Chain A
């Protein structure tokens, strides 16, 4: 409960820093094969607050593509209402959630709920979240995460946030939004491009490349305070930051000694160390989730391919072999797969490699996919792509079955980065 309270302040700070000028809208295309039928009853208590929370829970679960919402016909139940499991079972619901919204002693809203397994006629658990009136949707996301985890066995990502860049009217906006695209706040506005945002593992900071000094320079930006620090501004280009899993180091790409090459620096910009040496281009480093190795793109073999080296350097092993252009490697947080962009017949498409079998699957049929980013539970991959000549974001499930599109009415959206689980 303390945690959700803290997060509300953080989001509030962001909103105060710059209200959204460009709101993302979401569109779902496709769903999983075996969706779990779940009923979310109308919560009791404060009617307006209840509507916000239940609507958020329902749309989160539906959007994930893993659940089918069962019609509740206006049934209103709180967390203590007696449940007729047989009735809900006959309506086709495997699970049911009920709850209520009330005032906590300090005047904020308290969302309480309970989840039931109607097949076994037992309660699976419940929780209460305290939040401000303005941040009721966050309570909804937390409830949806709870339900998702109880019913699928995996952690939900509804409470996570995403970062992305909007190009609109000659300006570049680095924005932060909830994972459903709502509540967008602008962390940075610039007339020069911003690329390659990456979240610190604790979710409090972004590292990115900004061209505001007429050249690429790497910054670390604390979201709550808006404080920015230059991490790498060496002679030449500074780009492609990637956090180490412990949040203490950044792998970066510098051209100060000639070609684009891999280095590591501390998060405060000190302790520069060269990681690899090649005659060509080495770029787009990403730490494996165990922190022991780094995946990166290199043209050392003649065409851009993905390689892997130890986190402190050493010999590079080639990872991709099929095709003449495989770039932007992103190891999944569970360490099992690697997302990347493959060029096939002139089209740039999202591909995933199973790291155990080395099998590659192309997940999209688009032509201009870029910048993949895994959800922290490894189930979805957010990419930038192009539809009708406009930059949009698309979330694709790791098996390619579920697709969601996020777009902004008056601009191009690009460079998505999915944030970590809420801590």
Chain B
């Protein structure tokens, strides 16, 4: 949310500046058509607003965009991508096919029960499953790194099934060609 808020505020600020009353010497005179210089200053913020704080295109970060959905949830002791996430994975694959200079980091996660290192390996199975789906749909091996955070970075710090189900997850992080992004 914050990542989106900052460029939006910046945009509002710049737009605001451009509408500041003009200096006195011109204010009384009829405005000449100077090939729309004031409208031009309004264009710049749109460009600024299209790139979020991580330097990623808006379509990856706009909450209204499918590609802003980056989490794929798994059932207990399961390591395959569920049918309900097939469309989401396909959308990300399509983006990676269309943007060969973009990369993704897939982070697998588990709930807190059991050995930390064994859970790290189980989280790896989840990120590997997402990687397989993406490559089958045309994303290239070199665009994807699948890793695991095991049980170390829970999204929900609770100790019951509803917390654990939020933590059995793989997240997709993007990086643009210029090296800017989420990892």
Name A residues whose Cβ lies closer than 8 Å to a Cβ of B.
Answer: 193, 195-196, 211, 214-216, 235-237, 239-240, 253, 255, 258-260, 281, 283-284, 297, 304, 325, 327-328, 341, 343, 348, 370-371, 389, 415
CB contact between A284 and one of B115, B124, B147 (< 8 Å): that residue = B115
List of 7 A-B pairs having minimum Cβ-Cβ separation, nearest first: A260-B121, A215-B147, A193-B152, A281-B121, A327-B115, A240-B117, A214-B183
- The answer to whether A211 touches B146 (Cβ under 8 A) is no
CB contact between A195 and one of B105, B122, B152 (< 8 Å): that residue = B152
* B153 surroundings in chain A (CB, below 8 A): 193, 211
- From known contacts A215-B147, A260-B124, A281-B122, infer whether A239 and B117 are also in contact, taking CB-CB under 8 Å: yes
Q: What are 28 residue pairs bridging A and B, where the CB atoms are less than 8 Å apart in the complex?
A: A195-B116, A196-B116, A211-B152, A211-B153, A214-B105, A214-B147, A214-B173, A214-B183, A216-B149, A235-B145, A236-B124, A236-B145, A237-B147, A253-B121, A259-B121, A260-B120, A260-B121, A260-B124, A281-B118, A281-B124, A283-B118, A284-B115, A284-B118, A297-B118, A304-B115, A341-B115, A371-B115, A371-B116
Query: Which of B124, B128, B149, B183 has the most C-beta atoms of chain A within 10 angstroms of its own C-beta?
Result: B124
Please report which residues of chain B, range 106-146, place their CB below 8 angstroms from some CB of chain A when the two chains form the complex: 107, 113-118, 120-122, 124-125, 128, 145-146
* A325 surroundings in chain B (CB, below 8 A): 114
- The answer to whether B147 touches A328 (Cβ under 8 A) is no
| Chain A CB within 8 A of B148 CB | yes
B141 to chain A, nearest CB (A): 10
Which chain A residue shows the least CB distance to B159?
A389
- The answer to whether A283 touches B145 (Cβ under 8 A) is no
A156 to chain B, nearest CB (A): 30
Name B residues whose Cβ lies closer than 8 Å to a Cβ of A.
Answer: 105, 107, 113-118, 120-122, 124-125, 128, 145-150, 152-153, 159, 173, 183
A76 to chain B, nearest CB (A): 50
* B147 surroundings in chain A (CB, below 8 A): 214-216, 236-237, 255
Which chain A residue shows the least CB distance to B141?
A235
| Cα separation A348 to B152 with both chains bound (whole Å) | 18
* A215 surroundings in chain B (CB, below 8 A): 105, 107, 145, 147-149
- The answer to whether A236 touches B114 (Cβ under 8 A) is no
CB contact between A327 and one of B118, B124, B128, B146 (< 8 Å): that residue = B118
B175 to chain A, nearest CB (A): 10
- The answer to whether A255 touches B159 (Cβ under 8 A) is no
A210 to chain B, nearest CB (A): 10
- The answer to whether B120 touches A216 (Cβ under 8 A) is yes
* A259 surroundings in chain B (CB, below 8 A): 121, 124-125, 128
CB contact between A415 and one of B116, B120, B128 (< 8 Å): that residue = B116
- From known contacts A214-B173, A348-B114, infer whether A255 and B107 are also in contact, taking CB-CB under 8 Å: no
- From known contacts A214-B107, A328-B115, A370-B115, infer whether A283 and B121 are also in contact, taking CB-CB under 8 Å: yes
A287 to chain B, nearest CB (A): 16
Query: Which of A216, A259, A284 has the most C-beta atoms of chain B within 10 angstroms of its own C-beta?
Result: A216
* B145 surroundings in chain A (CB, below 8 A): 215, 235-236
- The answer to whether A283 touches B117 (Cβ under 8 A) is yes
* A240 surroundings in chain B (CB, below 8 A): 117, 120
- The answer to whether A239 touches B152 (Cβ under 8 A) is no
CB contact between A196 and one of B105, B113, B117 (< 8 Å): that residue = B117
- The answer to whether A327 touches B121 (Cβ under 8 A) is no
- The answer to whether B152 touches A237 (Cβ under 8 A) is no
- The answer to whether A284 touches B159 (Cβ under 8 A) is no
| Cα separation A328 to B118 with both chains bound (whole Å) | 8
- From known contacts A214-B173, A215-B105, infer whether A255 and B146 are also in contact, taking CB-CB under 8 Å: yes
CB contact between A255 and one of B117, B148, B152 (< 8 Å): that residue = B148
- The answer to whether A237 touches B148 (Cβ under 8 A) is yes
| Cα separation A325 to B122 with both chains bound (whole Å) | 14
| Cα separation A193 to B123 with both chains bound (whole Å) | 15
CB contact between A304 and one of B118, B124, B125, B149 (< 8 Å): that residue = B118
* B118 surroundings in chain A (CB, below 8 A): 281, 283-284, 297, 304, 327-328
B151 to chain A, nearest CB (A): 9
| Cα separation A381 to B113 with both chains bound (whole Å) | 21
* B114 surroundings in chain A (CB, below 8 A): 325, 327, 343, 348
* B146 surroundings in chain A (CB, below 8 A): 236, 255
Which chain B residue shows the least CB distance to A297?
B118
- From known contacts A253-B121, A255-B124, A281-B122, infer whether A211 and B115 are also in contact, taking CB-CB under 8 Å: no
